[in-house]
Amino acid sequence: MYARLFEPVQLGEISLKNRIIMAPMTRDRAGPDDVPNAIMVEYYRQRASAGMIVTEGTQPSIEGKGYWRTPGIYSAAQIDGWRHVTDAVHGAGGCIALQIMHCGRVVVPANRGYAADIIAPSAIVMDGKVPGPDGVPVPTAMPRPLDADELPALADGFASAARNAIDAGFDAVELHCASGYLINQFLNPASNRRDDAYGGDAARRATFPLMALRAMAHAIGAGRVGIRISPGNPYNGMDVSDPWGDFAPFLQGASTLGLAYLHIVDMGDACPDTLGRVGALYDGALVANNMLTADSALERLSGQVQAVSFGRAFIANPDLPTRIAGGHPLAKPDYGLLYTGEERGYCDYPPLK
Short-list 88, 2, 14, CA closest to 287: 14
Q: Could you tell me the pTM of the whole model?
A: 0.98
Mean pLDDT of the chain: 97
The pLDDT of residue 200: 98
The pLDDT of residue 230: 97
Q: Where are the domains of the chain?
A: 3-337
Running DSSP on this structure, what letter comes out for residue 110?
G
| CA pair distance 312, 332, nearest whole angstrom | 9
**Phi, psi (rounded to 5 degrees) for 267:** -85, 5
Taking residues 226-248, report their average pLDDT: 97
User: What DSSP string runs through 315-348?
Assistant: HH-TTHHHHHHHTPPPPPP-GGGSSS-TTTTTT-
| CA pair distance 77, 83, nearest whole angstrom | 10
| CA pair distance 218, 41, nearest whole angstrom | 29
160-199 pLDDT, tens digit each: 999 999 999 999 999 999 999 999 999 999 999 999 999 9
3-state secondary structure 210-265: HHHHHHHHHHHCHHHEEEEECCCCCCCCCCCCCHHHHHHHHHHHHCCCCCCEEEEE
Q: Is 135 exposed, middle or buried (0-12, 13-18, 19+ CB in 10 A)?
A: exposed
Q: Which of 2, 44, 181, 346 is catalytic?
A: 181
82-122 pLDDT, tens digit each: 999 999 999 999 999 999 999 999 999 999 999 999 999 99
3-state SS, residue 39: helix
**Phi, psi (rounded to 5 degrees) for 128:** 170, 180
| CA pair distance 90, 96, nearest whole angstrom | 8
Q: Is a pLDDT exceeding 90 seen at residue 303? A: no
Partnered with residue 79 across adjacent β-strands are none
The pLDDT of residue 353: 84
Give residue 1's pLDDT band: very low, low, confident or very high (50, 70, 90): confident
By the 8 A CB rule, do 18 and 51 touch?
Answer: yes
Is 2 a known active-site residue? Answer: no
For domain 3-337, give its CATH number from 3.30.420.10, 3.40.50.1820, 3.20.20.70, 3.40.50.2300.
3.20.20.70
Q: Is a pLDDT exceeding 90 seen at residue 58? A: yes
Q: Please report, rounded to a whole number, the percentage of residues in the chain having pLDDT higher than 90.
A: 99
**Helices 38-46/76-91 angle, 10° precision:** 30
| CA pair distance 304, 107, nearest whole angstrom | 37
